[in-house]
């Protein structure tokens, strides 16, 4: 069957994207001249000048150290709690496991019809969790559990759970179906099949994604304090607003060290699991 000649999709997409960029520039008062004006450069220059020397007094370093550790802990727990949430949702959000695809060998029987709504609902939940940013979750949870790191942990958990659930589901759906089928033909049950053929193929990628999200969460955890959800962000907020500019530099250095340590550790582990 001959398909009618259409406008090339790639060209169309490019034009639409270009239009979006143009509209965005016009809507946002973008003016690079402001940065390079005498006033702009002067502002930046004086801010930088006042940063030096950084505040390295013992009391402040002590506070910063414990705030950094708290931030680290928030990022860890935010990721840890996200894992079971992600797994639970991913299992229902995966066509081949829930039995609407061919990998499970499930036919058009009762199970499939039963599971279709579960699939839709879990995908919906994943989308909602993911589309609400961490800071918004943080504000919501501060209303529920009060100010402090627990609200930050919950905020990270929910958003990350949504992201990980989506990623896990995608990884599980993309496992090579042939080894799965080769074991399914021996009469293996669904659960055995999952542990012996689907999971071993998906596990390295899932672990890698989880570690990557931890790297992102450590960055995210540094700004949760801006809204009062624990961690080093509160110190940033205070130092910036009270014009303790030398302290801002100390905090930047602290965040730089912490984030890089986590990145290095995470990348080391990610190489291990591949």
Partner 1 sequence: MDIKITHLHQNFGGAPVIRDMDFSVMSGERIAFLGPNGVGKTTLFRHMNLMITPAAGGVELDGAAISTLSVKEVRAMKRRIATIYQQHNLIPRFKVINNILAGRLGQWSTTRALFSLLIKSLDVDDVRDVLEKTGIADKMYWRTDRLSVGQQQWVAIARALYQNPDLLLADEPCASLDPRNAEKLIRLLVNWSKQHNTTVIASFHDVELALAYFPRIIGLKDGAVFFDLPAGQVTKQHLQDLYRDEKPREVEAKENVVIPACCITPIEI
Its sign, for the CA torsion 87, 90, 96, 100, is positive
Give the residue carrying structure tokens 């999971």: 199
* Nearer residue to partner 1 within complex by CB, 118 or 188: 188
Its sign, for the CA torsion 73, 77, 79, 80, is positive
Query: Interacting stretch for partner 1, rule CB under 8 A, among 2-10, 44-52, 154-162, 187-195?
Result: 187-195
**271 is a contact residue toward partner 1 (CB under 8 A):** no
| 1-30 residues near partner 1, rule: CB under 8 A | none
* CA distances to 6, 260 from 3, in Å: 9, 53
* CA distances to 100, 115, 146, 202, 205 from 193, in Å: 16, 18, 45, 13, 19
* CA distances to 124, 155, 171 from 166, in Å: 10, 17, 9
**186 is a contact residue toward partner 1 (CB under 8 A):** yes
**In the chain, helix, strand, coil percent, each to 5?**
80, 0, 20
* Nearer residue to partner 1 within complex by CB, 106 or 208: 106
Q: How many residues bind partner 1 (CB under 8 A)?
A: 32
Contact mark string toward partner 1, 88..127, x via CB under 8 A? ------------xxx-xxxxxx-xx---------------
Contact mark string toward partner 1, 146..185, x via CB under 8 A? --------------------------------xx-xxxxx
Per the CB < 8 A criterion, the answer to whether 163 and 130 are in contact is: yes
* Nearer residue to partner 1 within complex by CB, 2 or 31: 2
| 212-251 residues near partner 1, rule: CB under 8 A | none
**196 is a contact residue toward partner 1 (CB under 8 A):** yes
Taking the complex as a whole, how short is the minimal distance between the CB of residue 161 and partner 1, in angstroms? 25
* Nearer residue to partner 1 within complex by CB, 11 or 185: 185
**57 is a contact residue toward partner 1 (CB under 8 A):** no
Q: Which of 159, 163, 150 is nearest to 132 (CA)?
A: 159
Binds partner 1 (CB under 8 A): choice among 204, 240, 246, 267: 204
Taking the complex as a whole, how short is the minimal distance between the CB of residue 185 and partner 1, in angstroms? 5
Give the residue carrying structure tokens 């699991």: 273
* CA distances to 108, 116, 127, 234 from 123, in Å: 21, 11, 6, 35
Q: Is 62 helix (H, G, I), strand (E, B) or coil?
A: helix
Give the residue carrying structure tokens 């080769």: 182
Taking the complex as a whole, how short is the minimal distance between the CB of residue 248 and partner 1, in angstroms? 47
Binds partner 1 (CB under 8 A): choice among 71, 197, 210, 266: 197
- Residues at the site binding partner 1, with contacts judged by CB under 8 A: 100-102, 104-109, 111-112, 178-179, 181-193, 195-197, 200-201, 204
């Amino acid at each position: 069957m001959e398909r009618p000649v259409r406008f090339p999709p790639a060209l169309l997409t490019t034009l639409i994207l270009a239009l979006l960029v143009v509209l965005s520039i016009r809507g946002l008062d973008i003016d690079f001249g402001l940065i390079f004006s005498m006033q702009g450069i002067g502002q930046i220059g004086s801010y930088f000048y006042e940063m030096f020397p950084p505040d390295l007094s013992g009391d402040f370093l002590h506070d910063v150290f414990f705030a950094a550790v708290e931030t680290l802990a928030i990022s860890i727990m935010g990721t840890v709690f996200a894992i079971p949430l992600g797994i639970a949702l991913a299992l229902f959000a995966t066509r081949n496991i829930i039995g609407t695809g061919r990998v499970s060998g499930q036919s058009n029987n009762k199970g499939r019809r039963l599971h279709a709504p579960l699939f839709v609902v879990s995908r919906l939940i994943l989308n909602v969790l993911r589309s609400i940013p961490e800071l918004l979750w943080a504000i919501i949870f501060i209303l529920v559990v009060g100010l402090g790191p627990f609200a930050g942990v919950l905020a990270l958990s929910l958003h990350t759970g949504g992201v990980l659930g989506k990623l896990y589901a995608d990884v599980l759906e993309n496992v090579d179906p042939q080894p799965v089928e080769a074991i399914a033909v021996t009469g293996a049950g669904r659960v055995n099949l999952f542990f012996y053929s689907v999971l071993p193929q998906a596990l390295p990628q899932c672990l890698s994604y989880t570690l990557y999200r931890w790297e992102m969460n450590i960055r995210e955890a540094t700004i949760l304090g801006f809204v009062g959800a624990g961690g080093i962000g509160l110190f940033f907020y205070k130092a910036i607003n009270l014009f303790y500019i030398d302290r801002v530099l100390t905090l930047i250095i602290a965040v730089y060290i912490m984030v890089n340590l986590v990145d290095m550790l995470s990348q080391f582990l990610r190489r291990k699991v591949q």
